[in-house]
Homo-oligomer: A and B are copies of this chain.
Amino acid sequence: MIGHGGWKWAGRAALTLIVAALLALFLLFVTLPVASLFLRISPEAFFRSLAESVVIDALTLSLATATVSTAVVVLFGTPLALVNARHDYLGREIIDTLTDLPIVLPPAVAGIALLMAFGRRGVVGQYFDAFGISIAFTTVAVILAQIFVASPFYIRQARASFEAVDRLYEDAARTLGASPATVALRITIPLAWSGLVSGAILSFARALGEFGATIMFAGNFQGRTQTMPLAIYTTMQGDLDAAISLAIILVVISFAVIAAVKVITRRSV
């Protein structure tokens, strides 16, 4: 299956070519729209946007909140996925499916749901409010919204990766004196590493792009809750081209962050 440039292959070239063409088509389909965005604006307009305070605020907020929410998702999602991958308890599949639900909720509905749960009048939020803690319309709300919508992406992939790890290695580690925590940290997680990174990237990307739940649950306050997608939306009300500039900034920065994460995590394994 590994290419041998120049060797004779028995009639497999045609198939390879067709597959390659189809894949190129698909790649084109995914990248062309993104590329079209770039055609629309001039480099000057792009760099001008980068210097605006709204953009700087929004970009900082987006990167900070997406990082925090991804960290929370990884912190809680990893043990959850590990438990679900390794322990067979009653109701496991139900919990597994429950954790997926946020994906199907249209984000605006997710925002309403979050308000109804954690808002000042919410099922739980009212008790927080009694202690003077309000969550909605704060930066914390942005993070919660992102956790809510992005967590399934990490958890799902983490579970699949953990399931792919052969138990034999865990058994061997235990006979060598590793406690369950050590087994998880030193054996299972490293062996599932590429899947976990991949899931974290998905989740981070989803958090960065989150719009509907954030604007509903956290509101649209510059510097506090206005992330890049909200800034893009707000700009779009007046100036489509400026909004596209912002979108390109988001795409470029995300691309850079994701690529960097891939390089860093690959090296460390």
Contacts and interface: CB of A to CB of B under 8 A. Distances in A.
Interface of A: 1-3, 12, 15, 19, 22-23, 26-27, 29-37, 39-40, 76-77, 79-80, 83, 86-87, 89, 93, 95-110, 112-114, 116-118, 122-124, 144, 147-148, 151-153, 156-157, 159-161, 163-164, 170, 174, 179-181, 183, 194-195, 198-199, 201-202, 205-206, 208-212, 228-229, 232-233, 236, 240, 243-244, 247, 250-251, 254-255, 258-259, 262
Contact of A101 (B100, B101, B180, B251): B251
A109 B174 CA distance: 50
Given A161-B164, A232-B109, A244-B109, A103 B202 contact: yes
A100 B30 CA distance: 9
Nearest to A256: B97
Contact of A156 (B19, B93, B159, B201): B201
B180 A12 contact: yes
A117 to B, nearest CB: 4
Contacts of A161: 160, 164, 195
Indicate how many identical chains form the complex: 2
Given A117-B36, A160-B194, A262-B93, A31 B101 contact: yes
A104 B23 contact: no
